[in-house]
A and B are shown apart, each in its own frame.
Chain A
């Protein structure tokens, strides 16, 4: 590999993204699914930051959208954990496979 540039950062971001997608798909613990969502959002943030660094046109946007992503991820984690806690209070489990009351 030659010098570290945009592509290398994007590849690391892609690893985070794919790990998050697989994590969301395969975890049966609801909190594990939540961790997968965090990983996906982190991959997106890495991409934003890389573009902010390596392309002039996204110099401010990259950083600001990355900041928005971090804030929205925190909000999402809070709400999702509240829902998981509610589910646990009602069913005494966090297995997402047992959440089938709303299944059509």
Chain B
């Protein structure tokens, strides 16, 4: 086993354990702390995979943003310092059984899956060969040269684009490479809509009850 493998087992098992603890813990603040470790462990897995930009984004957005939001939600909705909403023992039993069955199903399907049906992988076994920030940014902005073989998502690359030299429309190529400009724009607009919607939903409402004027001493 190489150092990377040992690191994977340490980080991966820690992440899995913390995820289970999120479910088991009753106290909601402790849940949030276990969730923090889970998200950080996931970021560690991304770093181990060689996906440095993804890991950094996970740390920034999840651990820095979403989790702080969740903890603020806990603080704003707690009616007491040790508020506990417990599920019954029967519910726990059903949940454990269903969870184990579901995990067994997924794990079996992964273990017996035949990945050789996928397109031939020519990836060298070195995380440093992964695509990094520059290639990701170019793919997001519509550079079709980054991803030659993909037809999963996105807009056609240079369909109908005017040829600069001759000034007339180019013949669209037979097979278009995809880029992610359109999903990128949709996500941007989606974030704006979410921002407005969240501000609208969570705005401070005017109290209808008028407080009686305090009596003069």
Contacts and interface: CB of A to CB of B under 8 A. Distances in A.
Contacts of A67: 54, 57, 136
Main secondary structure, interface of B, reads: helix
B85 A95 contact: yes
A36 B28 CA distance: 12
A88 to B, nearest CB: 4
Interface residues of A, number: 72
Nearest to A7: B110
Nearest to A35: B35
A30 B150 CA distance: 40
B81 to A, nearest CB: 14
A22 B194 contact: no
B121 A53 contact: no
Contacts of B140: 64
A99 interface: no
A77 B77 contact: no
Contacts of B65: 74
Interface string A73-92: 11101110111111011001
B85 A29 contact: yes
B162 interface: no
Contacts of B66: 38, 73-74, 77
A78 B5 contact: no
Interface in B74-129: 74, 76-77, 79, 83, 85-87, 91-92, 95-96, 98-99, 102-103, 106-107, 110-111, 113, 115, 118-123, 127
A81 B198 CA distance: 8
B205 interface: yes
A50 B127 CA distance: 12
Contacts of B1: 3
Contact of B58 (A3, A36, A70): A70
A18 B105 CA distance: 11
13 contacts: A6-B115, A8-B12, A18-B99, A22-B23, A23-B22, A36-B23, A38-B70, A39-B19, A52-B51, A53-B49, A56-B119, A60-B131, A81-B72
Given A61-B147, A61-B150, 19 more contacts: A6-B115, A9-B45, A16-B16, A19-B23, A20-B19, A29-B28, A31-B74, A35-B70, A38-B66, A46-B45, A49-B51, A52-B49, A53-B49, A57-B149, A64-B136, A75-B191, A86-B201, A86-B202, A94-B77
Interface of B: 1, 4-5, 8-9, 12, 15-16, 19-20, 22-23, 28, 31-32, 35, 38-39, 42, 45-46, 49-51, 53-54, 57-58, 61-62, 65-66, 69-70, 72-74, 76-77, 79, 83, 85-87, 91-92, 95-96, 98-99, 102-103, 106-107, 110-111, 113, 115, 118-123, 127, 130-131, 135-136, 139-140, 146-147, 149-150, 152-153, 180, 183, 187, 190-191, 194-195, 197-198, 201-202, 205
